[in-house]
Structure 1
Amino acid sequence: MAFTDTKGRYASFGVVTSLPEEVIDAFWYIIDNYLKGVFQLNELIQFELLNKAGQISFRFSEKNLPTTIIFDSPYSFDPFYPRKIYVTDNQGKETIMLADEYSLM
């Protein structure tokens, strides 16, 4: 099961240059506090950043789960933020990356 034996956490160049640090940290917070131990996660999970009344909402989805969860945040939405974000677990090395960066792997 993925995301259970964290050895390191990383953010890709594209993520670091397009999202503020607190938004990046919010992904890890959501994974640690709302997803791990609740759902059996695959090695690849997907989030979508949504605009909800000017604030960011994180929509979580995964292919094997029929459930979609939306997490509201206090962070301001910026229309230039990337919409799709992937988080991968490669044997404990967890990385947040843009959809375009994932397709290059």
Structure 2
Amino acid sequence: MPFSNPNERYASFGIVTSLPSELIDSFWFVIDKNLTGVFDLISPLHFRILKNADNQVSLEYRSNQTPSWIQFDLPYPFDPSYPREVYIVEQNRTQVILLPDEFTG
């Protein structure tokens, strides 16, 4: 099953230079604890980074197969310099978080 039991996980240079490590780790947490087994996760996964009513980060997942979306509020302050969208791709059980301009698929 895609996005379960990955061998390796990485963040692209663009992600590492634009997001704090705890926010990067939150993507993996959301996938592992909230999305796996609920959605049919097929690469690429598409997320938006939003500001919630408390001026903190919300991650919004948009399903590729259905018009479904779900938001996860996180306990981290929102920064307007954060990228608005990120993609997570999986190939051969290796997963990578990428910015839209780094994603070629």
State the TM bucket, normalised to the shorter chain.
Answer: over 0.9
Aligned to 1:4: 4
Percentage identity across paired residues of the two chains: 45
1:5 and 1:76 map into 2 onto residues whose CA distance is 30
Aligned to 2:73: 72
Deviates more, 1:21-30 or 1:36-45: 36-45
1:32 aligns to 2:32 (yes or no): yes
Unmatched tracts of structure 2, length 5 or more: none
Normalising by structure 2, we get a TM-score of: 0.94
The 5 Å alignment of 1:76-95 reads: 76-95=77-96
RMSD: 1.1
Normalising by structure 1, we get a TM-score of: 0.94
Alpha-carbon displacement from aligned partner over 1:58-93 (angstroms, at most 9, x marks no partner): 000022022100000110000000000000111100
> Displacement, 1:44?
0.6
Residue 5 of structure 2 aligns with an amino acid whose one-letter code is: D
The structure 1 segments of at least 4 consecutive aligned residues displaced by more than 2 Å after TM superposition are: none
2:29 and 2:5 map into 1 onto residues whose CA distance is 16
Aligned to 1:13: 13
> Displacement, 1:38?
1.6
Residue 69 of structure 1 aligns with an amino acid whose one-letter code is: I
> Displacement, 1:57?
0.3
Number of residues of Structure 1 aligned to a counterpart in Structure 2: 104
> Displacement, 1:2?
1.6
> Displacement, 1:43?
1.4
> Displacement, 1:4?
2.0
Partner of 1:18, secondary structure, is coil
Residue 68 of structure 2 aligns with an amino acid whose one-letter code is: T
Unmatched tracts of structure 1, length 5 or more: none
